[in-house]
Amino acid sequence: MLELLPRFLPDFLSGLAVNFQIAICALLGGLLLGTPLAVARFRNGLASTPAAWLVALLRTVPTFVVMFFLVNVVPATVSLGNWQFGMTPWLAVVLSLTLYAAAYVSDHAVEAMRQLRSGSPVAAMLFVMGLVRAFFVMVLSSGFGAAVGVVEATTITLRAIETLPKVGDRLLLIGLVIVIFTVCFQLIYQVINHWRGKLNQRFHRPVQAARLEGVEQP
């Protein structure tokens, strides 16, 4: 087990970076797709109902199935006008998670816009925390990419487990991976919570000052 770590840790961290890259790209794609859908739903115009139907469809699409469909059914090279791109396993994972992210973003953005309209910017800030949670979910879900050949943290871990003959060593390795994920996520949570506290203070102070002025006035 100990002799494996000098080789495993650099490879694992490199694979973990791939998980984060996939989650970041999927979240950005979800923002690009989900934000216009949220705006359409919020305005209650002609596009409101089709947007709501599309979001409902995106909520029910199985990410794992979409990933396999893109890898096994979509041609290896896709042409859109003069633009060509290859449907790689990495891209398939990103696109499949983008659908989930788009539905998530749309649902939470609509609620955030309602809170802003009602004069509650603090409540609308919860949208940012929701994005962080969605990011964590997609980091973990990106491990599905191991099934289609994406070399990420799950792939590296499975390969390392296969080289360990003892069950105890395998359990220790899995425990180490869990610790690394936990530490990474907790660090990010701490940073987000710090900035959320700063924003809370920024928005609460003007509100409290206005209330005090109202009380002091005869």
Least-confidence region, from 44-48, 172-176, 203-207: 203-207
Range of the domain at 153: 5-216
pLDDT above 90 coverage of the chain, percent = 16
DSSP helix/strand/coil, 120:
coil
Least-confidence region, from 2-6, 139-143, 213-217: 213-217
CATH number of the domain bearing residue 58: 1.10.3720.10
Token pair in block for residue 115:
């809170």
- Between CA 120 and CA 181 the distance in angstroms is 34
- The dihedral built from the CA positions of residue 212, 214, 215 and 218, taken in this order, carries a sign that is positive
pLDDT beyond 60 at 52: yes
* Closest residue by Cα to residue 111 from 130, 97, 136: 130
How long, in residues, is the chain?
218
| Mean pLDDT confidence for 84-90 | 80
Number of domains in the chain: 1
199 or 28, which is more confident?
Answer: 28
Token pair in block for residue 142:
């990106």
Contacts of 48 (CB under 8 A, 6+ apart): 40, 41
121 or 92, which is more confident?
Answer: 92
Give me the pLDDT at residue 208, please: 46
| Mean pLDDT confidence for 69-93 | 78
CB of 138 within 8 A of CB of 100?
yes
Token pair in block for residue 80:
């859109």
DSSP state of 136: H
Instruction: Report the predicted TM-score, pTM, of the whole model to 2 decimal places.
Output: 0.79
Q: What is the pLDDT of residues 97-119, one digit of tens each?
A: 999 999 999 988 888 888 777 77
Residue 28: band (very low, low, confident or very high) from pLDDT cuts 50, 70, 90: very high
Contacts of 125 (CB under 8 A, 6+ apart): 196, 199, 200, 203
